[in-house]
Structures are given as structure tokens and as C-alpha cells.
Amino acid sequence: VTTGNECSWTVIEWMVRAVKAEDPDHPVGVVTAGCHEPKVRLMMRLTPSLDFLGVNSYGEESMYVGSSLREWGFPKPYAIMEFGPSGHWASPLTEWGAYIEETSSQKVPRYNATCHLCFDDPKCLGAFAFVWGWKWEKTGTWYNMFNEWKAVTEGVAVNCTQCESEVMDTVQACWTGRHRTVRPPTIRSVLVEGHPLKVMSFIAPRQEDLELTVDASHPLDRALVAIWAVTEEKVSDAIGGAWEATNPLLAGVWPGAKKAATTDQGLLVRLNTSGLEVGGEYRLYVFVRQDPNTCRGECKNQEAYASLPFRICHTAVAGDACHESVQFAMQVGIQTHPEMYPGVNATSSFEEVQMLLHQQGTGRCPPPCGLRSWCRTSVQGELCYEQVRWLMEAAGEKPELHPKVPPSGTFEDVQNFLQESGEGFCPKACPPMPGGAQVSGGGVSGPIKVGSLARDRLADATSGAPVIRRTVGAVIASFLVAALPGVAMP
């Protein structure tokens, strides 16, 4: 992702020439993480011997690789060496910081558009979908073309060994110009207690029968069944595709299944959250497959899936320590020390005050159920404001004494640091919303800006219209994958 500098790109030019001296018969390229103008301009100026550029790009950004290179005057061919869904690093987060993952059906248009935009561009040598296999990266479903997660594919009601994600169908259609005879299912929405989710996440109280529904369909009207599972939300801090441990499935949460069961089946099921930890963070998975009882010999190992983070909430009641804290704040604290209760006043609701105490880490308060999203960027006159300003100045003067403070952080960054670390009386700061995006249901939503051709490709994916690709004769025969840091001249 880094731009590099003149030294590093000069070294790459030397390496390219060295490779060509050994093998003058094959093209040589370099692969970069992302397609960024400063990096490309350095490359054009300092590495004239490169024959092509390889780019790893995900989500919406991959749709702009070709048009961006043309705009910047890059004269040579390019290849999209990795593309796929929106990366976890670019995904919206829940209020509690969990990654919000797109469903497989939401990922399909991205794969389709990127693949066809490459094939329609004479300078694009090829596009390679990631990852051709299965791995756990932040979740069990994020980047996978296949599902090899044995806990949900073997020994369950509908086994699906070497199960193929529905994105496989759209990639094959792009490569061959036609869809498969047997098509995968697709997911329209997931419903909690009968309410469709605007984003793929939710909060839930502790109860014995939380109703879950997946609204799914099949292009050939085949009967469908769903497999459901829950894990604790344990997210590795590994980066760069490093190995991550697979989170185990939770047992005893499916009242419609056996007590020790870790999965349940059906398009509508009930989840028992009564034994889950208040304030605990979890992830719900649903895999939609064709009902094997109705396949008539045509069943394929195909599925659509959704992955949804959720948190257990609880609005304090009489007898809870939190209830006493909220009552004290509402009746005494806000009136006598308003600077300690930023964002609430005498007219604030019980749940607003509880949420503030929860975010401040005081009063032994869990997140309330009736208020999912609440934030407050502190202002002058509040204790949190004074704490943020002091820390920003102190970290600026002696950063070595405050290594965990976000370097060059905004006021909101530092306020959130104090809130998350529990070192101040700060609530969660409200994020700036670029591009007119809005907070809705806990996720950031806004218009996806795509060009006319990208819009056509998105429409092709959602309508199922066949698209015939152009045959691409170019073959990438040799690559120079240069790691910019640490490269040294001999």
C-alpha cells in the first residue's frame, strides 16, 4: 500500500533489467497493493523497463484500476492480480467495532463488474479472483470461493463438501460467456424477529427464542434449506493474509436441534441467546443450499451465505447495579456535575444515559437494547474535552511517553482512544461522514459511485443477463514481485 520512494523504484528498475538480461523472451512486471496515483507516477518515471503492471485491488476500487491508469497516462498493459469483495480493512464497522461483511449475493456484482471491465479493456491482460480455496480471514466466509469449513459442511443436515460460493457462478459466466446449467441460490435479506436488516448486523437481548429468517431464492425455483451456526467474535490481529485460527461453533444455542448441536437447519429457525454473555460479541452464519430431497439428480455443491456480527444487549431494570447508576445520574449527577455527562441532560431517556455510562465504562452498565447507536463528540466545558486536548498536546510534545495515542490523530481519534482504553470520561465520538454517507442501523451506507460501464456490469450480475466476454490472448509469463521495504543493491 505504501508509495515507496525514488530509491526503492530505482532498485526495482535495476532488478527488472537483471531479470530481462537472464530471460529476454518473457515480459516482466511488478505487482502492487492497490492502484494509487503517486505510486504509479513514480513507477512511470523511474521504471521504464517494466512491461506491465500487476495490481491487487478489492471491492469498488478494483472497478477503477483501468480508468485510473488511463487518466494518469500509464502507457503499458496491466493485470488485476487479485480481486474480490470489499476488503475487511475497508468495510464499515458496527458500533462495537465488528466488521460488517457483505453477503455472498452482495459480493457477486463486484466480482462480475471487475471481471468484465478487465475483459472489455484491451490493455487488461487478465483478472484473477481471490482466493481459489478456503481460509479463515477475520471470518469464515470473507474471501473464499470454496467452503472447506468442516464444521458447517460435514456431518450437518445438508452436507456440502467442497461447497462452492455463488460467486463461482458469476466468475464462470464471465470466463465462458454462459452460466452453469444448475445455478446457486441467492440471498435477498436476513430478518430478525420478522424485521429485514438494513445492514448485516444486529443487537439482541437474552431470550430463549429469537426468530431468525433468511429470505432466499433460486433462479430455477428449486427448494432451499439453510444451515445456521454461531461463533464468538474473536478476531485475529494478523495482517497480510497470515494464518488465523478458526473460531469454534457454539453448542446449545439452537432450541430446535439437539442440546449439543452446533448447527440448525431451516429457512426460519430460533436462536436461544439466554446463555450468552450480556455485552458479548458473536457472529451468526447462515448457509443456503439446495434441498437434497428435491434435487432430482441435479444437486450441486453450491451455496449462498451471510455472516452477521451481533451483540447481546440488556436494558437495566430495578435490582441491577446499572439501574441504580442510571437513576443517580438522571436525578443527581447531571444536575450537579453536567461536565461529567457529555451529551445527556435532564430530558435524556433512560437508555441514552445508560449508553453513555456504558461507553464511559462506569456504573457497571451493559449496552441497552432500545438504543443501538449513540455518539457524542465532546465540546468545550466538558471533562472529556479537557482530557482530549491535554492528551493531544502531551502526545505532540513527547510522543514517546504516549505510544498508543493515534499519531497525527484527529480530535475524534483521540477521544475514541480514551473511550476504548477507559482512561477518561469520554463517550464514543461521532465519526465525520464523507461523501454524504449516513449512519443507518449501525453501518455506514452511502451511494456507490461507479461509471456507466461498471453500472452495466452490476446490472448484468443482478439480472442474470448473459454477457459474452472478449477472448484475451495475452499471457503473463513472468512476474517480478518486488517487496519495496528492505530491497538493497548488491
User: What's the predicted TM-score (pTM) here?
Assistant: 0.84
Angle at 285 between CA 283 and CA 288, to 5 degrees: 170
Q: Give residue 433's pLDDT.
A: 56
Task: Show contacts of 39-46: CB within 8 Å, 24+ apart.
Answer: 39/3, 39/4, 40/68, 40/69, 40/72, 40/74, 41/72, 42/3, 42/4, 42/5, 42/6, 42/9, 43/9, 44/72, 44/73, 44/74, 44/75, 45/9, 46/6, 46/9, 46/10, 46/12, 46/13
What's the pLDDT score for residue 198? Answer: 93
| Residue 270 cell numbers, joined | 430460533
CA atoms of 442 and 94, how far apart (whole Å): 5
Q: Give the per-residue pLDDT at 66.
A: 97
In this prediction, residue 439 carries a pLDDT of 33
Phi-psi region of 399 (alpha: psi -120 to 50; beta: other; left: phi over 0): alpha
Cβ within 8 Å of residue 117, ≥6 positions away: 63, 66, 124, 453, 454, 457
Q: How far is CA 227 from CA 117, 192, 285, 296, 420, in A?
A: 34, 16, 8, 21, 35
Q: What is the pLDDT of residue 444?
A: 29
pLDDT, residue 456, reads: 38
pLDDT at 1: 55
d(CA 132, CA 111): 13
The pLDDT, as a whole number, for residue 131 is 84
> How much is the pLDDT for 449?
26
Q: What is the pLDDT of residue 472?
A: 28
Spell out the per-residue pLDDT of the chain, length 490, in tens.
578 899 999 999 999 999 999 999 999 999 999 999 999 999 999 999 999 999 999 999 999 999 999 999 999 999 999 999 999 999 999 999 999 999 999 999 999 999 999 999 999 999 999 988 899 999 999 999 999 999 999 999 899 988 999 999 999 999 899 988 888 999 999 999 999 999 999 999 999 999 999 999 999 898 999 999 999 999 999 988 899 999 999 999 999 888 889 999 999 999 999 999 999 999 999 999 999 888 776 677 899 999 999 999 999 999 999 999 999 999 999 999 999 999 999 999 999 999 999 999 999 999 999 899 899 999 999 999 999 999 999 999 999 989 999 887 899 999 999 999 988 889 999 977 544 332 322 332 222 222 333 333 333 333 333 322 222 222 222 333 332 233 232 2
